[in-house]
């Protein structure tokens, strides 16, 4: 691993909950995401993992704290100055159905970021790139002219991934990207993410509540609870040797699927 | 079998889609023995919820039972076909003898009603208590039993004042207040966090033991099956593909679909480079397949798989599989 892609220092974020009170969603979180690694944020609903990820991408502004992307401080950068960094970080969302525009054809959905950034001069080049991206996410070319509703959940998520990697980002943020999928399809998408990560040299922030999914995909894991990181460790170490009481509790709660010989 | 509480026989449910009937549950046979927990497992759209909904007659209006029977042996020496009961009779029977827990505790509780009145409502309707005072006492006792702290205070709470886990406990209390003989739990823990899930599963198991209830647990999670079920039915595209005891299923899964499903679950402690997958996607609902429903995604397909529907075969005692090659 060579250096940190994202460094966050002392991130704090709270939301107003009425009567002048504020609820702290993220409390004094500091973390580093190294180049080429998959860092997982795990925790139960409401623990602040999505808020933290959105802050790191600057989709939500933190109350205080500093964020560095590839060595440059990006917290506090104004719109125009921040824009070049936007394209270097992309997101894959949880619900593939609501994150694709139902009235756009697949080719337009995937081409949209390319057009926004004026990557190519003409339509033919854009189409070439879209085809290439479809191939990367293992969809057929016949998908081009179809609409999102004509695809299954897993295929929609592939389209979302193609859109996310269209600009060759350095960081891919996956917010519960496989949680809405059936097990047999979830495995396909997890494999795809792992493959793409290797091929494209992506760094990945993987948000999930599912500890067995995280175990498969992550290099390091941050366990969050109540807006704070309670444990950060290498994946193998965390599962073999959880230190924090909460991590132990989480791990003991997973319903175990009895092993199968030769699987 | 004398100790079978509920027997679903050759159940077929169809929906009308563009003017023609499409079967979404195809000839399903399920037996629920007294005091046992039966798991119905499968991926979305496989018909598991539809199957459960036929039991207490809450199928959506577009869906119809086109064949088969749902035989209820709840009362000694009688057999009632729930599929052919009038709505009134069904309601009387189901309300008190069959309890149901749904996936989303927020949408299945009435937001305008206090917890206490919701839970005790069924007691009063089915006249299982003499008066309101008795109903209240029983409700508070049960709220305590399902692990709700300060049940007297909570009796007067509204659903939005409770967390998801607490709401699901209220749902369970509501389902078992009339001491039903059968509990149907449709994805009872899917919307819950993993730590809460473990608690709720334990609670369901405890309530079944305490009231010698049978249960049907519908889930897509093999972990849930392993944790609380005694028997398991694996469904795919409206058909039961494999059925046996939970122990046998995990020791020796026979259907290629079951095997694929089990292999594609990421497991802690094993870290393969890539997960095993089932190729392809679940076909659209209503797609006509001549042969075996699973043939398009199956790894050991033979000629027969494409042209002939496999019959159910008993491979070992109590272990049934619908497959040509198993």
If you classify domain A1-88+170-253 with CATH, what class do you get?
alpha beta
Cα–Cα distance measured from residue B176 to residue B180, given in angstroms and rounded to the nearest whole number = 6
Of A203-217, B233-247, B276-290, the least confident: B276-290
Cβ burial of B258 (10 Å; 0-12, 13-18, 19+) is buried
Q: How far is B261 from chain A (nearest CA, A)?
A: 6
Query: Could you give the percent of chain A with pLDDT greater than 70?
Result: 97
Question: For B41-58, what is the mean pLDDT?
Answer: 90
- Give chain A positions within 8 Å (CB) of B272: 216
Please give the residue that has the higher pLDDT: either B171 or B282: B171
Residue B216 has pLDDT above 80, yes or no: yes
Tokens 């122990």 identify what position? B247
Structure tokens at B139: 């409700």
Q: How far is A240 from chain B (nearest CA, A)?
A: 8
The pLDDT value recorded for residue A260 is 52
Residue B1 has pLDDT above 50, yes or no: no
Residue spans per domain, chain A: 1-88+170-253, 97-168
The pLDDT value recorded for residue B106 is 77
Cα–Cα distance measured from residue B206 to residue B212, given in angstroms and rounded to the nearest whole number = 10
Contact B261, B234 (CB under 8 A): yes
pLDDT in tens, A141-159: 999 999 999 998 899 999 9
- Radius of gyration for the alpha carbons in chain B, expressed in angstroms and rounded: 21
Question: ipTM value of the model?
Answer: 0.81
Residue A1 has pLDDT above 80, yes or no: no
Residue A113 has pLDDT above 90, yes or no: yes
Most A-contacting residue of B167, B252, B267, B282 (CB-CB within 10 A), to test interface: B267
pLDDT in tens, A239-249: 999 999 999 99
Cα–Cα distance measured from residue B317 to residue B226, given in angstroms and rounded to the nearest whole number = 20
pLDDT band at A255 (very low <50, low <70, confident <90, very high): confident
Cα–Cα distance measured from residue B323 to residue A55, given in angstroms and rounded to the nearest whole number = 51
Taking the domain B4-112+158-322, which CATH number applies?
A: 3.40.50.300
Cα–Cα distance measured from residue B146 to residue B222, given in angstroms and rounded to the nearest whole number = 24
The pLDDT value recorded for residue A263 is 39
Q: Which long-range contacts (CB under 8 A, 24 or more apart) does A210-214 make?
A: A210/A42, A210/A178, A210/A179, A210/B194, A211/A42, A211/A239, A211/A250, A211/A251, A211/A254, A211/B194, A211/B268, A212/A254, A212/B265, A212/B266, A212/B267, A212/B268, A213/A178, A213/A186, A213/B266, A214/A40, A214/A42
Of B73-77, B79-83, B203-207, the least confident: B73-77
pLDDT in tens, A87-110: 999 999 988 888 999 999 999 999
The pLDDT value recorded for residue B3 is 87
The pLDDT value recorded for residue A2 is 62
Residue spans per domain, chain B: 4-112+158-322
pLDDT in tens, B110-139: 999 999 999 999 999 888 888 999 999 999
Cα–Cα distance measured from residue B36 to residue B229, given in angstroms and rounded to the nearest whole number = 8
**What is the bridge-based pairing of β-strands B37-41 and B231-236?**
parallel
Q: Is A216 on the interface with B (CB under 8 A)?
A: yes
């Amino acid at each position: 691993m060579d250096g940190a892609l994202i460094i966050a220092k002392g991130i704090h974020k709270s939301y107003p909950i009425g009567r002048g009170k504020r609820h702290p969603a993220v409390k004094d979180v500091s973390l580093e995401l190294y180049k080429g690694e998959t860092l997982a944020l795990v925790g139960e609903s409401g623990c602040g993992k999505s808020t933290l990820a959105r802050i790191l991408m600057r989709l939500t502004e933190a109350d205080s704290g500093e964020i560095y992307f590839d060595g440059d401080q990006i917290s506090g950068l104004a719109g125009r100055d921040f824009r070049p960094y936007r394209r270097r970080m992309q997101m894959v969302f949880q619900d593939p159905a609501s994150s694709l525009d139902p009235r756009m054809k697949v080719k337009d959905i995937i081409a949209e970021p390319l057009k926004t950034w004026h990557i190519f001069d003409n339509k033919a080049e854009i189409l070439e790139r879209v085809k290439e991206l479809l191939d990367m996410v293992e969809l057929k070319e016949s998908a081009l002219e179809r609409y999102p509703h004509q695809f299954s959940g897993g295929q929609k998520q592939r389209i979302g991934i193609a859109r996310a990697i269209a600009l060759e980002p350095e960081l891919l943020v996956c917010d519960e990207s496989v949680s809405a999928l059936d097990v047999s399809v979830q495995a396909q998408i997890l494999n795809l993410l792992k493959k793409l990560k290797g091929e494209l040299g992506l760094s990945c922030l993987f948000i999930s509540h599912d500890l067995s999914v995280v175990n498969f995909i992550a290099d390091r894991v941050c366990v969050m609870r109540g807006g704070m990181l309670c444990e950060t460790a290498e994946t193998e170490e965390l599962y073999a040797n959880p230190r924090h009481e909460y991590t132990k509790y989480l791990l003991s709660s997973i319903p175990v699927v009895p092993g199968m010989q030769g699987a | 079998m004398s100790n079978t509480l509920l027997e679903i026989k050759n159940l077929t449910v169809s929906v009308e889609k563009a003017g023609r009937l499409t079967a979404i549950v195809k000839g399903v046979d399920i037996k629920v023995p007294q005091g046992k927990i039966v798991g119905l497992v499968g991926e979305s759209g496989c018909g598991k919820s539809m199957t459960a909904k036929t039991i207490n007659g809450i199928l959506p209006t577009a869906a119809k039972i086109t064949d088969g029977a749902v035989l209820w042996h709840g009362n000694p020496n009688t057999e009632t076909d729930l599929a052919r009961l009038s709505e009134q009779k069904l309601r009387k029977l189901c309300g008190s003898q069959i309890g149901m827990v749904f996936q989303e505790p927020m949408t299945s509780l009435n937001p305008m009603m206090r917890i206490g009145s919701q839970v005790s409502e069924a007691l009063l309707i089915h006249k299982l208590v003499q008066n309101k005072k008795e109903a209240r006492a029983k409700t508070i006792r049960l709220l305590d039993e399902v692990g709700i702290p300060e049940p007297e205070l909570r009796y007067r709470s509204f659903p939005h004042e409770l967390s998801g886990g607490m709401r699901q406990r209220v749902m369970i209390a509501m389902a078992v207040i009339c001491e039903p003989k059968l509990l149907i739990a449709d994805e009872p823990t899917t919307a819950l966090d993993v730590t809460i899930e473990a608690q709720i599963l334990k609670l369901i198991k405890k309530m079944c033991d305490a009231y010698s209830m049978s249960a049907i647990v519908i889930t897509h999670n093999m972990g849930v099956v392993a944790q609380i079920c005694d028997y398991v039915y694996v469904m795919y595209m409206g058909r039961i593909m494999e059925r046996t005891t939970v122990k046998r299923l995990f020791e020796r899964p026979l259907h290629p679909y079951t095997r694929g499903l089990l292999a594609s679950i990421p497991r802690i402690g094993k870290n393969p480079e890539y997960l095993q997958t089932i190729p392809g996607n679940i076909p659209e609902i209503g797609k006509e397949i001549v042969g075996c429903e699973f043939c398009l995604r199956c790894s050991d397909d033979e000629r027969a798989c494409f042209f002939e529907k496999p019959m159910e075969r008993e491979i070992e005692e109590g272990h049934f599989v619908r497959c040509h090659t198993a």
